[in-house]
């Protein structure tokens, strides 16, 4: 796949999330995806495999939020099979606490699927909202 196709996969992932279409989001992930959240927060670590990612990161995180995280893509840069997305996300916890973070995701595309993500974000904000590890 080319650079523009790879960028479109990442855009499609965020667009599906913005629509609340988690099935479409998950369909864009490789079954053997590796997703790493940097830092030492409760949400930090490496999640290997789509089901692990859903069960150990996405499910527990979204269960604490009123309506998931509304993400906006601010910039995409790509080279070869890597797409770097600068995004902002806004959410609210079930307790009414705002969670508005900035992200940089380094995404590797393989065979038309998101195969690897390394996510950088404000870890202090994450810890202050969701608690310490």
Residue pLDDT, tens place only, 67-91: 989 899 999 999 999 999 999 999 9
Q: What CATH number did the domain enclosing 123 receive?
A: 3.10.450.50
Q: Is residue 19 predicted with pLDDT exceeding 90?
A: no
User: What is the rounded distance in angstroms from the CA atom of residue 6 to the CA atom of residue 78?
Assistant: 8
User: What is the rounded distance in angstroms from the CA atom of residue 39 to the CA atom of residue 55?
Assistant: 20
Q: To which residue do tokens 């690897």 refer?
A: 116
Structure token digits, residue 102: 């900035």
pTM of the model: 0.94
Question: Range of 13's domain?
Answer: 3-130
In this structure, how many other beta carbons lie within 10 angstroms of the beta carbon of residue 19? Answer: 10
Q: What is the tally of structural domains in the chain?
A: 1
- Cβ(40)–Cβ(64) under 8 Å? no
């Amino acid at each position: 796949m080319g650079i523009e196709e790879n960028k479109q996969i990442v855009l499609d992932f965020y667009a599906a999330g913005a629509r609340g279409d988690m099935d479409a989001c998950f369909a864009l992930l490789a079954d053997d995806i590796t997703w790493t959240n940097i830092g030492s927060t409760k949400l930090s670590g490496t999640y290997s495999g789509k089901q692990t990612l859903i069960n150990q990161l996405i499910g527990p995180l979204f269960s604490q939020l009123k309506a998931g995280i509304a993400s906006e893509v601010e910039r995409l840069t790509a080279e070869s099979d890597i797409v770097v997305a600068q995004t902002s996300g806004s959410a609210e916890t079930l307790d009414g606490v705002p969670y508005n973070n900035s992200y940089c995701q380094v995404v590797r595309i393989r065979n038309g699927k998101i195969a690897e993500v390394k996510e950088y974000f404000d870890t202090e904000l994450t810890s202050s909202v969701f608690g310490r590890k």
